[in-house]
Amino acid sequence: MLRRRHNDGKVVKITIDGEAVDARAGESVAAAVLAHASGATRTTPVSGAPRASYCMMGVCFECLMEIDGEPNRQGCMVRVEEGMSVRRQQGARDMERAS
């Protein structure tokens, strides 16, 4: 689990798995999710193993999340935006975009 050292940043309201969460401007989606809860941020499509963000710089692809209905986006490479909806993924994605 992560914590913010200071809470004075501009609040950005997002939802994580439907729950309303206050993130801060400039944070990546992956950071906001890790600050919200510890543990897995997805399970793998191969064996269902729990995983979470590993590199935070876009090379490991462990932070894959559904962002605004679009699955398999790199949460560490996307900044939070007001009203964003984020979901942790379980296994393989659906072909259709969730809406």
Partner 1 sequence: MPDQTAPGNFDVAVIGGGMIGPALSLGLLERNLKVCILDEGDDVLRVARGNFGLVWFQGKGFGMPRYVEWTRRSATLYPEFAAELKEHTGVDVGHANPGGLELLLGEEELAHRQRYIGQIYQQGGGKEYEVEFLDRKQVEEMLPGVGLGEDVVGASYSPIDGHVNPLFLLRAMHTRFQQAGGTYLPHHRVSEVRKNGGAYDVVTEKGIVSAAKVVIAAGHGLRELGPPLGLDIPIRPQRGHILVTERTKQILPMPISSFRQTVEGSIMLGVSAEEAGYDDTINTGTVAKIAERAARTIPALRHLNIVRTWAALRVLTPDKCPVYAESETHPGIYAVASHSGVTLAAVNAKVASGWIAGDPAPEQFDAFGVERFDAQKTA
Partner 2 sequence: MSAPAYDIAIIGAGPAGMAAAHEAVNVGLKVVIIDEQAAPGGQIYRDVERVAMERRHDLDVLGADYKYGYGLVDGLQASSVTHLAGHTVWQIERNGTVWCSDGKIAKQVDAKRVLLATGAMERPVPVPGWTLPGVMTAGAAQILMKSAGMIPDGPIAICGSGPLLLLIADQLVRAGAKIAVVAETTSFTDYLRAAPHLLRALKGADYLRKGIAMRRRLKTSGVRIVSGISDLRITGSDKAEGVSYRVGGSVKSFAAETVLLHQGVVPNTQATRQLRLEHIWHEQQHYWYPKTGQNGSTEAEAIYIAGDGAGINGARAAEAAGRLTALEIACSLGKISRADFDLKSPPWFSELDHHQSVRPLLDAMFPPPKEILNPPDDATLVCRCEEITAGDVRKAAKLGAPGPNQLKAFLRAGMGPCQGRMCGLTVTEVLAAAHGKSPADIGAYRIRPPLKPLSLAELADMETGDGDVTLASPSSGP
- Applying CB under 8 A, the residues found at the interface with partner 2 are 1-6, 9, 24, 26-28, 31-32, 34-35, 38-41, 44, 46-47, 49-62, 64, 72-73, 76-77, 79
Tokens describing residue 54: 């590993």
Q: Give the 3-state secondary structure of residue 71.
A: strand
Q: Which helix (H) or strand (E) holds 31?
A: helix 29-36
Residue 95 touches partner 1, criterion: CB under 8 A: yes
| Distance of alpha carbon 38 from alpha carbon 47, whole angstroms | 21
Q: How far is the CB of 91 from partner 1 (least distance, A)?
A: 8
Interface with partner 1 (CB under 8 A): 45-46, 70, 72, 92-97
